[in-house]
Structure 1
Amino acid sequence: MTVAQALAPLVDLIWPPRCPLCGEGIGTQTGLCTGCWSKLTFPEAEGGVVAAVAYNDPARDLVLAFKRGGRISLAPVLARMMAARLGPLEGVWLTVPVPLHRWRLWQRGYNQSALLARELAGLTGARLVVDALVRRKHTPSLGRLGSAARAHVLEGAIAANPSRSAQLAGANVLLVDDVLTSSATTRACIAALDAAGAARVRVVCFARVGLD
Structure 2
Amino acid sequence: MKGALRLLYPPQCMACGAPVAGGAEGPGQLCPACFPDTRFITGTACARCGVPLPDDGTSLPDPTLTCDDCMVMARPWGQGRAAMVYAGTGRRLVLALKHGDRPDLAPALAGWLARTAAPLMQPDTIVAPVPLHLRRLLKRRYNQAALISGRVARAHGALHLPDLLIRRRHTPGQDHRGVGDRFANVAGALGVNPRRMAALAGRPVLLVDDVMASGATLSAAADALLAAGSGPVSVAVLARAVKDD
* TM-score, normalised via structure 1 length: 0.89
Identity %: 40
Check conservation: 1:21, 1:62, Cα contact below 8 A: yes
Residues 1:18 and 2:38 aligned together = no
Q: Which amino acid aligns with 2:29?
A: L
* Structure 2: segments with no counterpart, 5+ residues: 49-78
Number of residue-to-residue matches in the alignment: 206
**For the structure 1 residues 45 and 90, does the alpha-carbon distance in structure 2 shift closer, same or farther, using more than 3 Å as the test?**
farther
Runs of 4+ displaced beyond 4 Å: 7-14
2:197 and 2:228 in contact (8 A); partners too? yes
| Residue in 2 that maps onto 1:52 | 83
- 1:17-61 CA-to-partner distances (Å, cap 9, x unmatched) read 211112232323411235222322222442121000011111111
Q: For residue 58 of structure 2, what is the aligned residue in structure 1?
A: none
Query: For the structure 1 residues 8 and 134, does the alpha-carbon distance in structure 2 shift closer, same or farther, using more than 3 Å as the test?
Result: farther
SS across alignment from 1:37:
coil
1:91 aligns with 2:123: yes
Is the CA contact (8 Å cut-off) linking 1:169 and 1:199 kept in structure 2? yes
Superposed CA RMSD? 1.9
2:37 aligned partner, one-letter code: K
Does residue 147 in structure 1 map to residue 182 in structure 2? no
- How many angstroms apart in 2 are the aligned matches of 1:169 and 1:181? 29
Aligned to 1:4: none
How many Å separate the matches in 2 of 1:30 and 1:177?
Answer: 20
Which residue number in structure 1 is paired with residue 40 of structure 2?
Answer: 42
Gaps of 5+ in 1: 1-6
> Which residue in 1 is equivalent to 2:218?
186
CA contact (8 A) 2:19 2:31 kept: no
Residues 1:101 and 2:133 are matched in the alignment: yes
- Please state which structure has a larger fraction of its residues in helix: 1
Please give the alpha-carbon distance, in whole angstroms, between the structure 1 residues aligned to 2:164 and 2:2. Answer: 34
Change in Cα spacing, 1:161 to 1:129, as seen in structure 2 (3 Å) is same
The 3 A distance-change label for structure 1 pair 129 and 8 is farther
Superimposed CA distance per residue, residues 99-134 of structure 1 (whole angstroms, 9 cap, x where no aligned partner): 000000000000000000111011111111000000
Q: Offset at 1:14?
A: 4.8
Conserved in 1, the CA contact under 8 Å of 2:83 and 2:237? yes
> Is 1:72–2:109 an aligned residue pair?
no
Cα distance between partner residues in 2 of 1:65 and 1:10: 29
Counterparts in 2 of 1:10 and 1:71: CA distance versus 1, 3 Å:
farther
In structure 2, the partner of 1:3 is none
Q: Is the 8 A contact 1:25 1:33 kept in 2?
A: no
* Letter paired with 1:15: Y
